[in-house]
């Protein structure tokens, strides 16, 4: 069966959501929102948030996790 690009996109989104629910995504939406909240409260600057997100992504494999990008590609 041939999937359309639309169906493939839905499958990829579902894979990302399932992976986040399982807790295997290091840079999950919750983590990203927490960083943005810190920036909005003035605890971190945009550069600090971006640096922290890069660090989280870099350490994902060491921690036995994947990134959102990897979860998307697996879908």
Per-residue pLDDT tens for 13-37?
999 999 999 999 999 999 999 999 9
pLDDT at 1: 62
Domain ranges of the chain: 28-75
Mean pLDDT calculated for residue range 3-8: 91
3 has a pLDDT exceeding 90: no
- Residue owning tokens 């295997």: 24
Fill in the DSSP letter of residue 1.
-
Beta carbons of 44 and 52 less than 8 angstroms apart: yes
> Which pTM does this prediction carry?
0.84
């Amino acid at each position: 069966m041939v999937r359309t690009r639309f169906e493939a996109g839905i499958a990829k989104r579902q894979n990302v959501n399932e992976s986040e629910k399982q807790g295997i995504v290091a840079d999950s939406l919750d983590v990203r929102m927490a960083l943005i909240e810190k920036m909005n409260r003035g605890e971190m600057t945009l550069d600090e948030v971006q640096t922290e997100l890069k660090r989280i992504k870099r350490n994902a494999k060491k921690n036995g996790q994947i990134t959102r990008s990897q979860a998307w590609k697996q879908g």
